[in-house]
Amino acid sequence: MSHAKFQDCIQACVACAVACSHCATECLKEEDVKMLAKCIQLDLECAAICRSAAELMSLGSGLSQELCRLCTRICNECAQECEKHAAMGMEHCKECAEMCRKCAAACEQMATAA
């Protein structure tokens, strides 16, 4: 698969990593951090995988698809958690959930491409 074909997925991964790191740091400023602990944890895991997937795809690695498969899973898990808080009005969680869902979709497409 070419770098060009990877481009959309790379963009989705880096945008998701940025949103997750940002969400984590904003969650830490909220009044009820305890309630957001799981969200922060998933943000950190998701950001780490997304950064790694973006790097591997940029390098045109043969492992990109397998990493994207893992990325889809953690992105959906993180989105699901963020969506709970988005529903309560937390803007950073809303933005993060959207980026996670987009990234999950892009990574799934990448993972299953021939």
Give the footprint of a copy of itself on this chain (CB under 8 A).
3, 10, 14, 17-18, 21-22, 24-26, 28-29, 31-34, 37-38, 40-41, 44-45, 47-49, 51-52, 54-56, 58-63, 66-67, 70, 73-74
- Smallest gap from Cβ 99 to a copy of itself, in A, equals 11
Q: What share of the chain is helix, strand, coil (3-state, %, to 5)?
A: 85, 0, 15
101, 105, 84: which is closest to 93 by C-alpha? 84
- Smallest gap from Cβ 19 to a copy of itself, in A, equals 8
Query: In the structure encoding, which two tokens stand for residue 46, read together?
Result: 């998701």
Give the span between the Cα atoms of 61 and 38, in whole angstroms.
31
Place of tokens 């959930």: 97
- Smallest gap from Cβ 65 to a copy of itself, in A, equals 10
Q: In terms of CB distance, is 45 or 83 closer to a copy of itself?
A: 45
